[in-house]
Chains A and B, each alone.
Chain A
Amino acid sequence: MNNILSRNNAEKRFKVYGFLAVSTAIVLLGILLFKIFSTGISAFNQSYIGVKIEINNSINSSEIDPRTELRQQLRNMFPELTTRAEKRTLYSLFSTGATYEFEDLLKANEGKTINGYYYFLASDDVDMYVKGTVKREGDSAGRLMSGQLKILDQFEEQNLVELHINKYLLAGADSREPEMAGIKGAIYGTFYAILIAFITSFPLGVLTAIYLEKLAKKNRLSDIIETNINNLAAVPSIVFGLLGLAIFLNFFDLPRSAPLVGGLTLGLMTLPTIVIAARSAIKSVPPSIEEAAIGLGSSKVQTIFNFTLPLAMPGILTGTIIGIAQAIGETAPLLMIGMVAFVVDIPGGPMDPATALPVQIYLWADSPERAFVERTSAAIMVLLIFLFLLNITAVYLRKKLEKKW
C-alpha cells in the first residue's frame, strides 16, 4: 500500500520536474526572442528629413552635381545659417546616402522642374534620436551636438522628420554608415555558400551512408571508419575552418573570401551529420521490403535505388536540413577562410568575395555606432526566420515523402 503511494508520488514529482524543465526552456527562449525582436524591429524603419527642393529651369541631371545642389537647396531653406561651421552642421544631419537619393530624384525628373518637399535619408545619429534610442541630455543627445539639435528642432517644428521603411536594410550591402548598411550581400553570400555546401555534402554523405550501411563488409576497417565519422561530427567548427584554409586556399589556391570556399568548408563540416542521419534512416528501412526485392531478382544496387533510398529519403532530408541549418548559423570556419571581410558589393556568384549572415551579425555587433545595435538584432531576426523556414521545409518534406506500410 505504502509502496504504491510512494510510487505514485514519485511519478507526480517526475511530471512536475519535466514540466518545470520545459517551461524554463520556453521562458528563456521567449525572453531571447522578445529581446531580439524588440531591439531589432526599429531597424526596419529609418528617419528621413524633408527638404524643400526648388529647381525652376528644366533639369539636365548630367550637368548638376547632386552634392553641391542638395547643399544649395538646404542653404536656401535656412538662409540664417551663414558661417561655414553652421552650414557644416546643417549638412551633417543628412547621410551621404541623401546625395544618392537626390541624384535619383534628379534623374527621375530629367527635363522637368521640381518644386516641393522631398524626404532624404537622415544620418544615424539623427535616426537614433528620432527613434528615442538616445535621449536629450542637457544640450546634446548621444553624438548630436547642440547646434545639430537646434536645426533638427526646426525641421521637427515643420513636421519634416518622418520614419520611412528602411529600404537599405534588406536591399543593400554592408556599409560603414549604419543608416545605409544592409544584409542583402550577406544573404547572397550565405545562399551561395549553403548551395555549395549542399551540393557537395548531400551526395557525398548519402553515398557514404549507403556504402557503409549496405555495401561494405563489416570488419575492422569499417568499424574504424564508423567511429571516426562519429568523431568528426564532434570536431569544433573552427578546426574545419583551418582545414578549409589549408586545403582550399593554400593548396588549391581558390580565391579568399569566396562563398565557394566557405561552402566547401561548411560542406565538410556538415558531412558527418548527413552521414549519421542517412545511416540511421537507411537502417530503419524494413529489411522485409529489401528481401522482397532481392527475392524478385533485383540486384543490390537496384534494390537500394528502388526501395532503400526512397524509403529512407524523409529521414535523410530531415537530417540534411538540420545539418544545413547548423551550417547557416556557423561563423567560426568562415572567419578562417576570410569571409569576414568588409564587402560593399553584392556578390554576383560563388567566386566573388562575400560575407555571410552570421559573420555580418558578428561584424555589426563589433561596430561602435549605436545604430548598429538594432541592425544586429534585425539581422538576427532575418537569420532566425531563414532557419525557421528551413525547419518548416524539413517537416513538410518529411510529411510529404513519408509512405505508410
Chain B
Amino acid sequence: MSIEELKVSIKNLNVFYGEKQALFGINLNIYANEVTSLIGPSGCGKSTLIKCINRMNDLVDICRYNGQIMIDGEDVNDPSTDPVSLRTRIGMVFQKPNPFPKSLYDNVAYGPRLHGMTNSKEDLDELVITSLQKAGLFNEVKDRLFEPGTGLSGGQQQRLCIARALAVNPEIILMDEPCSALDPIATAKIEELIEELKEKYTIVIVTHSMQQAARVSNRTAYMHMGELIESGLTKTIFSNPEHIKTQDYITGRIG
C-alpha cells in the first residue's frame, strides 16, 4: 500500500439537535482514495456524522456543533468556507434513490450547468456521457437519455444519482446507506462501482450490512450511541476488534 494521504480529519466533534446531543467527541481520520465505512446500530449518529462533512446539517435549524473537521487542511466550519462551494467538492448519495423529476440527461447535467463547468453543448454532452459511464449506467440507458430518470429501476436510479454526483467532479463521495433500498443484484453492481470509484475518489459509506462493510471498505469505524467506539483497518476491526462492543455488534449479539 502506498503512503496514506489524510483527506478528512475530524477532531473532537460534538453535535447537538436542540438540547439532545447526537455526537460525542468524535475523532476520525479519512484517507484519500480509500473507502471508509461507518457501521453501527440505527440512531448511533452515522448519518449525522457524514452530514457534518458537507454541512448538510446546516439545513436543520436546531442543529449546533463544535469541534473541527478539516478537509485537506481547511476547516469546513470556518466562516470563510462557503457551504455551497464546499458541497461541490463533496458528492452525496442518499439512502433512497432520489433522481430529479427530469430527464436522465438533465439529472446528470444539473450540477455542471449550475456551476458553469462546461462551455459548450458538446462539452456538456461529453461530461454527461463520461459520468454515466463512470457510474456504469451508460450502456443500459444510452437510448433513453431524454426520458425521465424516475422511469429507471431502483438500482439504476441509484447509479444515476452516483453519476449525478460524479458530474460535478467531487473529491469526496459520501454515501448514506446507498444500497438499503436495493436488491442483492443491484447492490452487487453498486459495490463493484464503489471498488472502481475509489481509484479516483475518497469514499465514505454508511452501511447497515456488515458484509458490505467487509467487502468494500479499507477502513471501518464502529459507532454506538453517538460515540465512535473503534476505527481502523477493516481487516483488523472484523477479525480482531479491540473493543467488546464492536465485537458484540459484529458477531450479531447487539444491534
Contacts and interface: CB of A to CB of B under 8 A. Distances in A.
Interface string B147-180: 0101000000000010011001000000000000
Interface of B: 54, 56, 59, 61, 84-88, 91-92, 94, 96, 98-101, 110-111, 114-115, 148, 150, 161, 164-165, 168
A296 B94 contact: no
A289 B99 CA distance: 7
A363 to B, nearest CB: 49
A218 interface: yes
B84 to A, nearest CB: 5
A218 B59 CA distance: 12
Contact of B100 (A218, A292, A299): A292
Contacts of A404: 101, 148, 150
A25 to B, nearest CB: 37
Contact of B94 (A291, A302, A311, A403): A291
A295 B92 contact: yes
Interface centre among A218, A291, A297, A404 (most CB of B within 10 A): A297
A291 B84 contact: no
Interface string A290-330: 01111111110010001100010000000000000000000
B99 A295 contact: no
Interface string A67-102: 000000000000000000000000000000000000
A311 B96 CA distance: 19
A302 B84 CA distance: 11
A217 interface: yes
30 contacts: A217-B61, A218-B61, A288-B94, A288-B96, A289-B98, A289-B100, A289-B101, A291-B56, A291-B94, A295-B91, A295-B94, A295-B165, A296-B87, A296-B164, A296-B165, A296-B168, A297-B84, A297-B86, A297-B111, A297-B114, A297-B168, A298-B84, A298-B110, A298-B111, A299-B84, A311-B101, A403-B101, A404-B148, A404-B150, A405-B101
A348 interface: no
Shortest 6 CB-CB distances between A and B: which pairs?
Answer: A297-B88, A295-B92, A288-B98, A403-B101, A297-B87, A296-B111
A404 B100 CA distance: 10
Contacts of B59: 291, 294
A297 B85 contact: yes
A297 B112 CA distance: 10
Contact of A298 (B86, B99, B114): B114
A403 B85 CA distance: 30
Given A291-B94, A404-B101, 15 more contacts: A288-B94, A291-B56, A292-B98, A292-B99, A293-B100, A293-B110, A295-B56, A295-B91, A295-B94, A297-B111, A297-B114, A297-B115, A297-B168, A298-B110, A403-B101
A286 interface: yes
A20 B114 CA distance: 56
A302 B114 contact: yes
Contacts of B99: 292, 405
A299 B101 CA distance: 19
A288 B168 CA distance: 19
A297 B111 CA distance: 7
Contacts of B168: 296-297
A252 to B, nearest CB: 39
Contacts of A294: 56, 59, 87
Given A296-B87, A296-B88, A299-B84, A291 B98 contact: yes
A292 B161 contact: yes
Interface in A136-183: none
A302 B87 CA distance: 14
